[in-house]
Chain A
């Protein structure tokens, strides 16, 4: 057996960009398979949709700011994608959240205005869309807040969070809620499962209510339910009689896991396949086209052939792009040419850790259609695109949604995809 499975499109990468591309390809009628080495960035990111937070000063209106932003950065992914694509993909995302597996759960906000939400250390961070469970953390409307921590969650420090919110001018104090410690290194997910239980959270709310003062909002680490967060959050608000909001935690990120599940279900409902543990280890080419990729499966490789590939394997942080000890930078997955690599003599890194590190802009070289240079049937999406410093710009999800959507659109509109497959 040659051991080959055939699809209309194969997506490499199971993070936000890859899952969006896969879901939208499947919704468009393509036979699609998403190959993921492991579970991706979703479980680590806060679960907010950040479109543009800093340019480099804090951005108030992300969609309106995009024009000037890309004019100054013609190599940025947003310059290829355009504001309309960002808005359209955000709209698609919100509708999939609402028709998704988490009853009643919504993302709120809009791309016209960033709102500022507290991080785990009490800094205020701009986001365009956030889960409804975070919405009442909007820093502009927060007056008095009580940050609630627990000894059962070691990685969240309510005193630190409250002190920094105080420095931002918000009257903040903190309390510790009593949650039974059943495991020393409990994380937010373990507690989120308990918040899914109505009886458990009713008891929690009853104990917490005794520690609260009038007129203060409640900030809790993001752990208000994993299967049914809408019920958990709204139930707490009702029981405590005041606004309650989630604050993103250290990994694992419960809101990020919800986001992954929403995209996974969108992919599966539309008939798309998802293969986990599928690290792409080699590719076959015919001239300037990739004809198939092989993943490392048990015993023998599995081979996936398609007329189109979406490359959404991520950048340095996922390990798709590497910089080795000889200062050679490469795409480890398909060996595609890169763009943005500092030339000889140019600085690769700057001394200040959080500066605009030149190396951060490296990505797979693409044309205006997001097609990889030298590989006509490979479309690139997400953190693999060159030109962005998404962690600094606060642009990661905007780029992932818009480029994942654009990649799907390009493949679907390329007439003859099926014919070539046959």
Chain B
């Protein structure tokens, strides 16, 4: 791999800016609940000095880092802690070997394609106690972990079976695997909101962004997957300099924007660069439209009290919490903003048998806040986090755009 050597050096070089202030340690959701993870400063800037190119990894607790990225966000010195740790995890995985489980659960496309036509059987299997025990024993997927039910239909079938009204103001929609196989209705709402605001929505042929592979330390496979996404979208972006990509799966849009290029050392790929620069999270896009006076505000009251949790990966966009600004536009909507850091799931982290208890302990603060708030529903930008929140609290959990969709009366 000759790509990104300079960027890797800069990434690694950033550890020299660490002044050991411990701010990252105060914010790390994982090391605050388990001694199994040494903490971001310890496994990152400190241990990295002892990691030498092809020599054995000196520190294995980095496998317990969930990759939430909070450490990099709060670092006042700009150290790329989470990114350094992700690369260390990849190296560790290559040396220790990759479990079969990690090869399976990181492939939402395989799972989705197998589970969609057989949704009834697949969902029965996923909900069946004895079969889940078997899966835990054979694969190491925790028997109690939150797994979503297959919708039995695919979003892209719906999208390709219709035509967005031609307004000339085109936008590309990246829906991600969660919308494709599990929550196609979320994608339908995104399309309807965009169309309501005058966009002609194009849904290019697409697939997984590669984040599950990346976060489990399967970098080579992740690169192949995400580079294909660059090929899918770049032609549209080259044709029209004003064309943007919008997504509702906030962890996937973050992967396209930054993580793929930075963590997977793909800074030099021109397609991915273009995709990265033009991708927007749905709430980010809608808030910017509003500030330009271009968002329709024909909102009806939504007289509800909801709890909002900004997931780590949404925070990782480094744009604050635009969903809160959008909620403020909806009459009647009362919002309790949580201040817990993480729900624990971190994509596939909380599915793993050896990490499930840690994930639940990480999320305990959030779950307690949800219950104490008395709110009827939880809004959260990431699907895996929603599934985890519902699993732990029994509360219904939806994407923030659901309330816009309702307020628009669509």
Contacts and interface: CB of A to CB of B under 8 A. Distances in A.
A187 B21 CA distance: 12
B279 A44 contact: no
A279 B80 CA distance: 14
A351 B409 CA distance: 71
A268 B257 CA distance: 28
Contacts of A5: 287-288, 291
6 contacts: A1-B280, A4-B292, A6-B291, A277-B318, A300-B277, A319-B77
A335 to B, nearest CB: 18
Interface in B1-35: 21-23, 25-27, 31-32, 35
Given A295-B318, A298-B316, A182 B74 contact: no
A152 to B, nearest CB: 12
Interface string B44-81: 00000000000000000000000000001111111000
Contacts of B325: 273
Interface of A: 1-6, 33, 37-40, 43-44, 182-185, 187, 189-190, 193, 251-252, 257, 261, 268, 271, 273-279, 295-300, 302, 318-319
Interface in B279-299: 279-280, 285, 287-288, 291-292
B315 A276 contact: yes
B3 to A, nearest CB: 18
A276 B25 contact: no
B316 A277 contact: yes
Dominant secondary structure at the A interface: loop
Size band of the B side of the interface? 35 or more
B256 interface: yes
Nearest to A14: B76
A252 B26 contact: yes
Given A275-B318, A298-B318, A302-B319, A252 B22 contact: yes
A1 B288 contact: yes
A403 B122 CA distance: 62
Contact of B32 (A185, A193, A273): A193
Contacts of B339: 261
B216 interface: no
B229 interface: no
Nearest to B71: A38
A52 B315 CA distance: 38
Contact of B318 (A184, A302, A318): A302
B405 to A, nearest CB: 22
A393 B179 CA distance: 58
Given A43-B26, A268-B337, A276-B74, A298 B32 contact: no
A4 B254 CA distance: 19
Closest 6 A/B residue pairs (Cβ): A299-B257, A277-B318, A38-B76, A275-B320, A298-B257, A277-B73
A299 B276 contact: yes
A4 B291 contact: yes
Contacts of B21: 43-44, 251-252
Contacts of A277: 72-74, 315-316, 318
B187 interface: no
B152 interface: no
B343 interface: no
A273 B242 CA distance: 28
B32 A190 contact: yes
Contacts, number: 117
Nearest to A101: B339
A38 B74 contact: yes
A305 to B, nearest CB: 9
B210 interface: no
Contacts of A38: 23, 73-78
Given A4-B292, A39-B23, A185 B319 contact: no
A1 B320 CA distance: 19
Contacts of A251: 21-23
B223 interface: no
Contact of A39 (B27, B32, B277, B278): B27
A264 to B, nearest CB: 8
B258 interface: yes
A252 B75 CA distance: 13
A66 B162 CA distance: 73
Contact of B76 (A6, A39, A268): A39
A249 to B, nearest CB: 10
Contacts of A296: 318
A371 B55 CA distance: 55
A257 B26 contact: yes
Nearest to B75: A38
Contacts of A302: 318-319
Given A6-B291, A252-B26, A39 B74 contact: yes
A140 to B, nearest CB: 32
A271 B32 CA distance: 30
Given A252-B22, A299-B256, 5 more contacts: A33-B320, A38-B77, A251-B21, A275-B318, A298-B316
Interface-central residue, A37, A273, A298, by most chain B CB under 10 Å: A298
A279 B318 CA distance: 9
Interface string B318-336: 1111001100100000000
Contacts of A6: 291
Nearest to A1: B288
Contacts of A1: 242, 244, 280, 285, 288, 292
